[in-house]
Amino acid sequence: MSPPLAAAGTLALGDRAVHRVGLGGGRIPGFADDSSAALVLRRALDLGVNLIDTADIYGRGLSETRIAAALHPYPEDLVIATKGGFVPSGAGPVPDGRPQHLRDACEGSLRRLRLDTIELYQLHTPDPAVPFEESLGALVELREQGKVRDLGLSNVTAEQLARARELTPIVSVQNAYNIRRHRRFGADAVLAACERAGIVFLASQPLAAGRLPGEEALLLVASRHAATPGQVALAWLLQCSPGVLPIPGTRSVRHLEENVAAPSVSLSAEDVAELELPADTGSG
């Protein structure tokens, strides 16, 4: 295992312990072939990554299929999290929180991942056309049937998280969060709610979809630490809250190794203040 990853400790995701840098599966469909994807996936496990997050919408199932092709049978400590609640359309993914769709989506994920039970199944997004409680109820049924172990939410507000927790235990929330968003919008209400409840916050888009590396503050702090801007951005996330678990995606073994080494970057109070200075950084 990567020493920095081991030193960063673990978080309790349900009854499983996961290291504090995971691997996002959104870029897995972008590999040229299965073998190229397998190189990154297997290297992630070598480095100690034991949480891989994916979704049925990523490559219309290709991300899940490639994860299984590379890693099945899975190591006992590996948690594969996936999501359902979007469907493809000509204009891009659109929400579909109908209970029957979510049941079908889960069955498809089980089949592609070659699993009997999904460790963490997440509602990918609330559907404004479907009552939130109906969508969540479908996931509760899946858990009662043994098809999923724990439930998570994605792309939710603090109010939706509170409503969900009135109905069922929630072990994680996955929302976009990064230093760019923090500068623009300030403290995150959903992250604060997760902190109070002891819920893991899976930070998606931790590198702002690649829009961070050229930012001046990141470059300056990175130069002080002999680190990359991406490592500094991940280190900031790890230090901003003990419950944050970034899930950067990548199609490069080199970038994967850089990401997993990010916990070795220890930011000073001066570094953090400089990074958090409000700036006109555009959309997060």
CA dihedral 108, 109, 114, 119 (to 10 degrees): -140
Spatial CB neighbours of 12, under 8 Å, sequence gap ≥ 6: 200
Q: Which of 58, 74, 121, 177 is catalytic?
A: 58
Distance CA 52, CA 23 (A): 5
Query: Facing residues of 79 across strands?
Result: 51
Residue 74 known to be catalytic: no
Q: Which ranges in the chain belong to alpha helices (H)?
A: 3-7, 34-46, 62-71, 99-113, 132-144, 158-167, 179-185, 189-197, 216-225, 229-240, 253-260, 269-275
Q: Name 69's Cβ contacts closer than 8 Å, sequence gap at least 6.
A: 34, 37, 38
Going by C-alpha positions, the residue among 246, 271, 270 that lies closest to residue 260 is: 246
> DSSP 3-state assignment of 172?
strand
The residues annotated as belonging to the active site are 58
